[in-house]
Chain A
Amino acid sequence: MKVKLFLILLFGLSFAQAQDQLAVKIIKAVTELMSPENMKSTGTQTITTSSGRSRTFEFESYMGGKGKSTLTRYTKPAAIRGQAFLTLNNADDIWTYFPRTKRVRKLASHAKKQKVQGSDFTYEDMGGGDVFMTKFTPKYQGDETINGDLCWKIDLIGILDQDPPYPKIILWARKSDYSPVKLDYYDDNNFNAKTLSLSDIQNIEGTPTAMKMLMVDHQERSSTSMETLEATYKWVPPKNFFSERSLKK
């Protein structure tokens, strides 16, 4: 009887270990996909408030160092034309530029949780990098079908001493190409505060790329959709591109 119990426990432990290893492998592949070496894109961002009113912005965006550095500059509408923000070290350091005053402001880390241009994305959400791997512990939760795609479901549990942006995220990634298709963000009260849905995944220069993203804030009942108009992974940033110098251009 004792031998049987030991074998069951051993099997259980081995199974759990294998599941954890699978989760780590999936998150590593998702991170590599979401954080290409470099990327340059243009897109639109439409914010829809709880009252149903919407505003659309156009922007150009640059990513480097596997998502550790980003630069986003708004091109339309006229009211925010030229406003830009630069994030370094996975959005740990943020600078914003206001063309009307020609001033660059460095934002403290409390600003990471602020909405970018009133959207449902925070500066932290816009930053990329290896945050899922360094600030979360992944747990495989089985397979589920999302919008007809068979997906892995992974719980990302925030590692407290790593200052994770959310205590918990549930991520669904397509089994076919590791593309994430849905992320549920949980707050401190374990409430599903926001959901990000990624769709219209196209193969651009060999990389599956979500051309549409929709972030829904369940508390404020607002949403922000981002649509990629053009994207390339072949862009190579000039030396010291991710700097105040580029921010002001």
Chain B
Amino acid sequence: MRPVVLLLVLPIMLWSQPEFYGYFESEADVMQVGGRSYYFGYNKMRLDVEARPSDNVLIGANINIQQYWGQTTWNLLDFLPVDIWQPIFQPEFVPDSLWVREMSYTISDTLLLDNIYMRVSFPFIDLTLGRQQVSPGVGYAWNPTDIFNTKTLLDPSYEQTGISALRAELPITSRTTASAVLQPEDSWEMSTKQVFLKTGLGSFDFELTAAQFRWERSFLTPLALQVRETQRTLVGGSFVGELFEWGLWAEGAYNELEGAEDFLEVIFGTDHTFDNSVYLLLELLHNENGIAQQGDLTFDAFLQSLGGETHSLMQDYAFVYLMHQTFDYVSLSAIAIANLNDQSGTFGPQLDWNVFEDTNLSFQSSFSWGDDDTEFGLQDWGFRIRILSNF
């Protein structure tokens, strides 16, 4: 679909006096895992272009250029507990000299046409065609109804990559909207389909959703890394509202799988701003697709979790976010993520400084706790500096 969209969109865009904007972002990281230090980072430029040939048509596109430095080839095994990978990569019957202790992954510099779409607004419907960002759900850290994106827990509000889709949004009343997303593939059966019905009642918003798609998961076989597809049907919903001045939300999905066990994934969240201006957000996740007992963890479960194919490695998690605007243009915040099943977690304090009108500098660190054979326990600490300048 992409070449067709390009041919259609680019000439109109150039003809209708487009606006250009974007940002430059540079990040430097140091991380200690299993007693070993890693230095890495990237420079990224995002260039957005937006054109409005008429009041009812919007054309948007953005290109991301990202150049990595420092460590760019990673050994996945360095980030997994030894007990998980040793039985596969160092079986007892293989002599020491033949041991393979590496499963490497290289990150390459990218020049990515991230989004390119056209939105046409009719009085009764909005149609968006092309590669676009689709971000369903009300959860902050996790979105059980989001089948398109993977969030980074230490930075859940980072922008998501676009998907090639056709989206239709049908406003029914001022607070009721029906919408549908179709991500076309080779056939209707292979295509991803999701529908939504959103409405509001009093101070609450409610949403129902249903989706059907081919779910890809990675498995390591004795011969190679394999990707297997399963037909997945999702039925879910969410609400967001408040009780006694505390924001409340929940989002859940029941997932029916072809030839595998069905599972439920649900989050509950709450937030509040105290009189001293401290903002607190708490979110809990229960994901039946995750592993319940630490002893049942497998290499494949780690592989799928690290690759973003599943929303979590294990079943139960807590996410806490605290923020305070401490000085003029300076805010202090902290994120804590806890795996409630293996008692491990990570704590990440952060300082954000709006140095100039369009420039932000942030310092973030992370400190992990838990045993070495737990999800977060293997990681020791990390430190990140990020500068972002909008133009």
A residues neighboring B (CB under 8 Å): 49-51, 53, 55-56, 77-79, 81, 92-93, 98, 100-103, 105-111, 113-115, 118, 222, 238, 240, 242-245, 249
A248, B241: Cα distance in complex, Å = 20
Q: List 25 A-B contacts (CB under 8 A).
A: A49-B328, A53-B328, A53-B329, A78-B22, A78-B358, A79-B357, A79-B358, A101-B158, A101-B160, A102-B134, A105-B240, A106-B138, A106-B240, A106-B247, A108-B241, A108-B246, A110-B272, A118-B325, A242-B174, A243-B171, A243-B175, A243-B177, A244-B175, A244-B198, A245-B177
Instruction: Using known A-B contacts A78-B358, A245-B171, determine if residue A106 contacts B157 with beta carbons closer than 8 Å.
Output: no
Q: Is B159 an interface residue (CB 8 A)?
A: yes
How many chain B residues touch the partner (CB < 8 A)? Answer: 43
Contact B245 A78 (CB under 8 A): no
Contact B157 A101 (CB under 8 A): yes
**What per-residue 1/0 map shows which CB atoms of B357-388 lie under 8 Å from chain A?**
11010000000000000000000000000000
Residues from chain B with a CB closer than 8 A to the CB of A115 are 325
CB distance from B137 to the nearest CB of A (A): 9
A115, B23: Cα distance in complex, Å = 25
The 3 residue pairs across chains A and B that have the minimum distance between CB atoms: A108-B247, A108-B242, A78-B390
Residues from chain A with a CB closer than 8 A to the CB of B245 are 108-110
CB distance from B362 to the nearest CB of A (A): 13
CB distance from B174 to the nearest CB of A (A): 4
> Which parts of B108-144 form the interface with A (CB within 8 Å)?
121, 123, 126, 133-135, 138
Residue among B121, B248, B273 having the largest count of chain A Cβ atoms under 10 Å: B273
Q: Is B27 an interface residue (CB 8 A)?
A: no
Contact A113 B273 (CB under 8 A): yes
Residues from chain A with a CB closer than 8 A to the CB of B272 are 108, 110
Residues from chain B with a CB closer than 8 A to the CB of A243 are 171, 174-175, 177
A41, B131: Cα distance in complex, Å = 33
Contact B273 A51 (CB under 8 A): no
Residues from chain B with a CB closer than 8 A to the CB of A245 are 126, 169, 171, 177
Residue among A107, A109, A110 having the largest count of chain B Cβ atoms under 10 Å: A110
Q: Is B29 an interface residue (CB 8 A)?
A: no
Residues from chain A with a CB closer than 8 A to the CB of B328 are 49-51, 53, 222
Residues from chain A with a CB closer than 8 A to the CB of B246 are 108, 110
Residues from chain A with a CB closer than 8 A to the CB of B329 are 49, 53, 118
CB distance from B273 to the nearest CB of A (A): 5
A144, B215: Cα distance in complex, Å = 72
Contact A111 B273 (CB under 8 A): yes
A53, B327: Cα distance in complex, Å = 12
**7 more CB-based (< 8 A) A-B contacts, given A101-B159, A115-B325, A240-B174:** A53-B329, A56-B357, A101-B158, A110-B272, A111-B273, A245-B171, A245-B177
Smallest CB-CB separation from A242: which chain B residue? B174
Smallest CB-CB separation from B270: which chain A residue? A108
B residues neighboring A (CB under 8 Å): 21-23, 58, 121, 123, 126, 133-135, 138, 157-160, 169, 171, 173-175, 177, 198, 200, 203, 205, 240-242, 245-248, 271-273, 325, 328-329, 357-358, 360, 390-391
A98, B157: Cα distance in complex, Å = 10
Smallest CB-CB separation from A220: which chain B residue? B328
Q: Which of B134, B160, B271, B360 contacts A108 (CB 8 A)?
A: B271
Residues from chain B with a CB closer than 8 A to the CB of A98 are 157
Q: Which of B123, B203, B247 contacts A110 (CB 8 A)?
A: B247
Residues from chain A with a CB closer than 8 A to the CB of B241 are 106, 108
Residue among A56, A77, A106, A115 having the largest count of chain B Cβ atoms under 10 Å: A106
Instruction: Using known A-B contacts A50-B328, A108-B246, determine if residue A102 contacts B271 with beta carbons closer than 8 Å.
Output: no
A118, B326: Cα distance in complex, Å = 12
A227, B40: Cα distance in complex, Å = 46
Residues from chain A with a CB closer than 8 A to the CB of B203 are 92-93, 109
Contact A100 B390 (CB under 8 A): no
Residues from chain A with a CB closer than 8 A to the CB of B58 are 249
Contact B135 A79 (CB under 8 A): no
CB distance from B45 to the nearest CB of A (A): 13
Contact B159 A100 (CB under 8 A): yes
Residues from chain A with a CB closer than 8 A to the CB of B248 are 108
Smallest CB-CB separation from B272: which chain A residue? A110
Residue among A98, A108, A111 having the largest count of chain B Cβ atoms under 10 Å: A108
A118, B331: Cα distance in complex, Å = 11
Contact B21 A109 (CB under 8 A): no
A191, B210: Cα distance in complex, Å = 53
A238, B360: Cα distance in complex, Å = 38
Contact A77 B358 (CB under 8 A): yes
Residues from chain A with a CB closer than 8 A to the CB of B135 are 101-103
A84, B246: Cα distance in complex, Å = 22
